[in-house]
Amino acid sequence: MTTALRMLREHGGEGLTARRLGAALGADPSTLYRYFRGMDELTLAVGDELIGRALRGWSATDDWAADLRELGLRIHAAYLAHPQAAVLTASRVSGRAHEIAADETVLGVLHRAGFPVPVAVRIYHCFIDQTLAFAALDAAALALPEAARRADEAVWQATYARLPEETHPHIAPAAPYLVAEMNVSAYPAALDMLIESAASQLA
C-alpha cells in the first residue's frame, strides 16, 4: 500500500496503473492480479489502508464526545496526509477490515454513551459522511497544483475584501472574517456542531 500511495501522490489517480505499480515494485504487472481482481479493488484497498492508519493507536476513554471528536479528526487527517488517494477513495465503500473496524468503533462509542440503536445509526451516518465529505473537499484543494491553490486562497483577500458595502452590505462587514476563516478547513467546527447536536439528544 505504501508504494500505491506514493504512486498516487506523484501521478494522481489516473497515474495509478498496474504497469507503473509493477515497475515501482520491480515486478511484472500481472503479479498485481494475484492479490487484486483489478485496479478498482486496489483502489478500495488503498481507502481501507487510510482508515486503518487513522485507527492505529486509538483507544477509547470514558468521554464519548471526546472519543468521537478524536476519531473524526484522525480520519480526516489520515485522508489529508494523502490527498490524491483521498480524492479517489473518500466516496467509496469497501467492506474491508479497517472500514468495518471503524464502523464498529464509532457505533461502540455511541452505544457506550447510551444512544438507542436507531439514534446511534443516524448519528454515525452523519458523522462518517461529514468526515469523508470534508476529507474529499479539503484533499481536492490540497491536490491542486500549487499555483492554482494559492490563487484560490488569494481570492478572499483580493476580491471579497474589496467589495463595497453599498453593493454587498452583507459580505463587506464579514470580509475580514471570511479572509481569516475561508482558507482553513471548517471540519473541526462542523464536527463540534454535530457532537453538540448529538449531546442535546442524549440529554
Q: What is the mean pLDDT of the chain?
A: 89
Which residue range(s) make up the domain with 60?
1-142
In a domain, 37, yes or no: yes
Residue 202 pLDDT grade (very low, low, confident, very high; cuts 50, 70, 90) = confident
Q: What are phi and psi of 70, to 5 degrees?
A: -65, -40
Judged against a pLDDT cut of 80, whether residue 27 lies above it is answered with no
Q: Where are the alpha helices (DSSP H) in 26-82?
A: 39-55, 64-80
In a domain, 187, yes or no: no
Would you state the pLDDT for residue 190? 98
Would you state the pLDDT for residue 203? 77
Q: What is the pLDDT of residues 159-193, one digit of tens each?
A: 999 999 999 999 999 999 999 999 999 999 999 99
If one counts the domains in the chain, the total is 1
- Cβ atoms of residues 113 and 143 within 8 Å: no
Closest by Cα among 136, 113, 137 to 124: 113
In a domain, 135, yes or no: yes
Residue 14 pLDDT grade (very low, low, confident, very high; cuts 50, 70, 90) = low
In a domain, 93, yes or no: yes
In a domain, 195, yes or no: no
CATH number of the domain where residue 2 is located = 1.10.357.10
In a domain, 156, yes or no: no
pTM, 2 dp: 0.86
The gap between the terminal CA atoms of the chain, to the nearest Å, is 43
Judged against a pLDDT cut of 80, whether residue 31 lies above it is answered with no
What gap in Å lies between CA 183 and CA 11, rounded to an integer? 25
In a domain, 49, yes or no: yes
In a domain, 157, yes or no: no
Q: What is the pLDDT of residues 87-134, one digit of tens each?
A: 989 999 999 999 999 999 999 999 999 999 999 999 999 999 999 999
Q: What is the pLDDT of residues 35-75, one digit of tens each?
A: 666 777 888 888 999 999 999 999 999 999 999 999 999 99
